[in-house]
Structure 1
Amino acid sequence: MFRHESFDRSLFNAAPARPLALDPGFRPLALGVRAYRRALAAHGSRERVVLGLEQNAGWAARLELDVFPGGADEDSLRYVSWMLNGLLWACGGSRAAVSGPRALCEAIAEEYGPRGPWAFEREIMGLAYSQPFSVEVMDEVPVPAPRPLALGGNLEGCRIGFDLGASDYKVAAVRDGEVVFSAELPWNPKAEADPAYHYARINEGFRLAASHLPRLDAIGGSSAGILVDNQVKVASLFRAVPPGPFEAQVRPLFLRLREEWGVPLEVINDGDVTALAGGLSLERNGILGIALGSSEAVGFLDRAGRITGWLNELAFGCVDANPRAGTDDWSGEPGVGAAYFSQQALDRLAGPAGFAFPPGMALPERLRDVQERLARGDSAAREFFLTIGAYLGYTLPWYAEFYDLEHAMILGRVTSGEGGELILARAREVLEAEFPDFAARVQVFLPDEKSRRVGQAVAAASLPALS
């Protein structure tokens, strides 16, 4: 891979000021970008590169960058390639456009082309937008028009809210904005190849919640994966389902449930519901919500309090520039968010931390074990959560390259208990030391414990408007 050549001499081989004891090879992209821009400023001459993304309904995002003249150096290719990667997983698109120095633009098109290294990105974007992903070199990249979704904030009536995760399924019954029942139901969707299992388990939760309401007016939900127009486009939850049954039964699953229940039903990305939960409960906007659970779920509520319609699949976006970084359990690519901001971090850090788990112990049980060790004062468990916090502190400024945020709300199973406070404290410490301007303008916070566990299901209930 061209972007990995000569990394030891690269500007992106930028180490934290205080190396991470459990991950000394961590090279935050935010530090690499800063090093590149400082070197560019010292050089004194530059050229402009513009990136753009088109979705099925039109152009959705545009990003302007400065690079070294000609852009033929390896670090300029790394820089633009990673910026396109970040924008792609934040926004999503069926086609990318790039303008600027010809040699650099053609190299980017080749990187993301059929013979380039970003095969997972091409595959997922093709599935999400039902057409092959491509990169086009243009003289001018179009300016997008904002197309935010008008969902959420509807509290009247009797509603069900649900949140589908990889290890549990949260459901809540909500009446005029008040929670009258909530539960976490264990399930194992990733191992089930029969679509009927998924349909039946989700319906079981609906029936349980509906039994606590005098009537049912609407259903709102969130799910891991990529959903467009209430259809499942890509989701690791259903990875065991063969392509044929997936297309016939999983893709329209929520449309079928809407028809069966006969009420308005809306389902969106779980990360967007995370951000919506923060906006509703705290009356704040400009929120980047990050749920650290089975994977990393991200959503964004813009400064006007609107869901943007972007993918927000940062679990697959790079956060670590080191080509030898750990991989996640799906994309197989190094340095992606899911391997740093979810239970999957245990796979990478268990060895350095000295954790020994019984063979076959699942990640949720491993996490619970580490949380119990922390409660007993175990120093290795403490270091694990502090490492997650350091990852977060170094990554939030990278995410701010793509989101105009004022607040970052952190929640999810990994943040439960004392571990969440350690994550937050270390993240703030890193930001204040390494990114003081960012720390001064962006508030990073945890919601209360109850909101961390079931807040997404409650916020999801507010998605549909009543006819």
Structure 2
Amino acid sequence: MKHLGIDVSVRNLPELDPNYIPLFPFYESFLKGASKPLDIAVERSAGQVAVYKTFIHGTPEMAEADLYYVDRIIKTLLWLKGGFKVYIAGDKAIYEAIHKAYSKEGTRAFDEDFMAGVYEHPFEVVYCDAVPAEVSKSEAIGRHMNGCRIGFDAGGSDRKVSAVIDGEPVFSEEVVWFPKTNSDPDYHYQGIVDAMKSAAAHMPRVDAIGVSSAGIYIDNRTMVASLFLKVGKKDFDAKVKDIYIRAAKEFGDVPIVVANDGDVSALAGAMSLEENNVLGIAMGTSEAVGFVDDKGNITGWLNELAFVPVDAAPTAMVDEWSGDIGCGVKYFSQDSVIKLAPAAGIELDESLSPAEKLKVVQGLMEKDDDRAAAIYRSIGVYLGHALRLYYHFYGFKHILLLGRVMSGKGGDIVLAEAKRVLAEEYADIASKINPTLPDEKARRVGQSVAAASLPEF
């Protein structure tokens, strides 16, 4: 296959998506003829900087391919590691194109606005003679078992809470709620406090509170979170940014730690595996990701792989939220199952919700319907290629695959196909990484119990 003048050789393509061009092989093919050095750095909070040194062609005939390559790398760095300032050294024309793209009227206006909001800092793209040095700060996460702890897991359809005494859960509760459709932040606050009070009632005292919640959190403050999708900006700033901090004060001056649910999933996996260097990927409503590094720490990276590109095909599906194409959310979530269903010959009732459509396909899979199996085989091929791309940036050892898409027989097919693609296409790393589904021990640890271990006191 060919894209922007680059020949990309791949043996394994998803049977239901033959136009798919996995991004990592495209990068490898692009770099074979590239010799002009280009350095990129992305600055995020607390002076942390991610550096990526690479090459472009720097010729008029390859100008379009050069810009596409750099655009995809910068997009990846921003959503994987986060940042509000991009530094470029080595090519003024590339800088000018990226600077224009990341403007209020540019093609990356969504990314520019999003990152500025997350870091509460104007977004910048600057040209320099040399990019700043790499600066990274990881911090220990969880595994604290002493005392009486509350672990709260805020999901989009239900909230879970556990009371944990010296590492042993003594009470757990799961309650249905509707945070994504409610515009009143007092509804969310009351639900959070009610859950925590339920757990507190089963312990003699509360020593610490840990929270696992979808979204981006900095210093325990809510920067962006789909749970509060319908809350207006004024109410968000006044009542949501510090919602968990306020809830903890209901129990006195106790330490609280709020972490992204993907990071807590990775922590639960690391605790279960008794290993570090774990990437957790939950395929559900979206692609939720967390990472625990080789020291057992979290990195402060965004890990929002749902918006990291994985497909170079110009015909790739558009993500409705960001307006970009080829991003992970359309490959590793219920959206992927729904996207592939027509090609598999499965008609889904348009009146059904996305979750209900997924259940239809899962029901067919449980009956060994080969049309459904073809969907999961295709997702497995996507995953095998994407894991090679993710490994390039993370260098992980274990991958824990979670979420509704990975449940049942379909999840087994996805895992088997991903392993096959890794072995056949990327033998150099296939033996270094270990994709797994959660075992019973991981299920018992649970998200809310792992969350309880977050604070240290």
| The two structures share one fold, judged by TM-score above 0.5 | yes
Aligned to 2:46: 57
Is residue 89–residue 129 contact of structure 2 (8 Å, CA) maintained in 1?
yes
Aligned to 1:291: 282
Letter in 2 for 1:386: R
Question: How far has the Cα of 1:267 moved from its partner?
Answer: 0.8
Paired with 2:319 and 2:198, the residues of 1 have a C-alpha distance of 34
Q: Is the 8 A contact 1:288 1:301 kept in 2?
A: yes
1:241-288 per-position Cα deviation (integer Å, ceiling 9, x unaligned): 111111111111111112122222211111111221122221211211
- 8 Å CA contact 2:185–2:240 kept in 1: the answer is yes
2:409 to 393, 411, 418: 418
1:235 positional shift: 1.4
Matched, 1:220 2:214: no
Number of the residue aligned with 1:3:
none
Question: Cα RMSD over matched residues?
Answer: 2.2
Secondary structure in structure 2 of the residue aligned to 1:271: helix
The amino acid of 1:299's aligned partner reads G
> Within 5 A, what are the aligned runs for 1:165-244?
165-244=155-234
AA matched with 2:426: F
Q: Counterpart of 1:68?
A: 57
Partner of 2:437 in structure 1? Answer: 446
Quickly say closer, same or farther: Cα 1:339–1:212, change in 2 above 3 A: farther
> Residues 37-436 of structure 1 correspond to what in structure 2 (within 5 A)?
37-40=31-34, 46-69=35-58, 73-262=63-252, 263-436=254-427
Encode CA deviations 1:397-423: one digit per residue, 9 max, x unaligned. Answer: 111232121222211222122222211
Q: CA deviation at 1:154?
A: 0.7
1:74 to partner: Cα distance: 1.3
Q: What SS is found at the alignment partner of 2:431?
A: helix
Determine the C-alpha separation between the residues in 2 that align with 1:97 and 1:383: 43
Structure 1 counterpart of 2:329, which letter? Answer: A
Q: Aligned-pair distance for 1:374?
A: 1.4
Q: Classify the secondary structure of the residue corresponding to 1:166.
A: coil
Deviations along 1:406-452, one digit per CA (max 9) or x if unpaired, are 22221122212222221111110111111111212112111115735
CA gap 1:242/1:226 in 2 versus in 1, 3 angstroms = same
Whichever residue aligns with residue 63 of structure 1, its letter is: Y
Q: 1:21 aligns with which of 7, 15, 20?
A: 15
Structure 2: how far apart are the matches of 1:413 and 1:285? 24
Identity among equivalent positions (%) equals 44
Where 2:394 maps in the other structure, the secondary structure is coil
Cα deviation 1:84-112 (Å, max 9, x = unaligned):
11111111111111111222232222222
**Compared CA separation, residues 449 and 411, structure 1 to 2 (3 A):** farther
Partner SS, residue 135 of structure 1: strand
User: Number of aligned pairs?
Assistant: 455
Aligned mates of 1:376, 1:212 — CA distance in 2? 43
CA separation of 1:12 and 1:461: change in aligned 2, threshold 3 A = farther
Shift of the alpha carbon at 1:70? 5.2
Quick one: which amino acid aligns to residue 412 of structure 2?
E
Deviations 1:54-77 (A, max 9, x none): 123113211111222458621111
Q: Which moved more, 1:220-229 or 1:110-119?
A: 110-119
TM-score, structure 1 as length reference: 0.91
Alpha-carbon distance change, 372 to 451 in structure 1, aligned in 2, over 3 angstroms: farther
* Cα shift readout 1:325-370 (whole Å, capped 9, x = no counterpart): 1233422321111121112223312322333344432222332332
Tell me how far apart the structure 2 counterparts of residues 20 and 173 of structure 1 sit (CA, whole Å).
Answer: 44
Name the CA distance, whole Å, in 1 between partners of 2:3 and 2:114. Answer: 32
- Maintained 8 Å contact 2:211/2:257: yes
Distance 1:169 1:386, change over 3 A: farther
C-alpha distance in structure 2 between counterparts of 1:351 and 1:204, whole Å: 43
1: CA distance, partners of 2:408 / 2:444: 11
Q: Is the 8 A contact 1:225 1:235 kept in 2?
A: yes
Which of the numbers 22, 30, 34 marks the counterpart of 1:36?
Answer: 30
TM-score when normalising by structure 2: 0.93
Deviates most, 120-129 or 151-160: 151-160
Q: Which runs of 5+ in 1 are unaligned?
A: 1-6, 41-45
- The residue type paired with residue 165 of structure 2 is R
Deviation for aligned residue 1:12: 6.0
Task: Find the counterpart in structure 2 of residue 4 from structure 1.
Answer: none
Partner of 1:341: helix, strand, or coil?
A: coil
Q: 1:380 to 1:216 in 2, by over 3 A?
A: farther
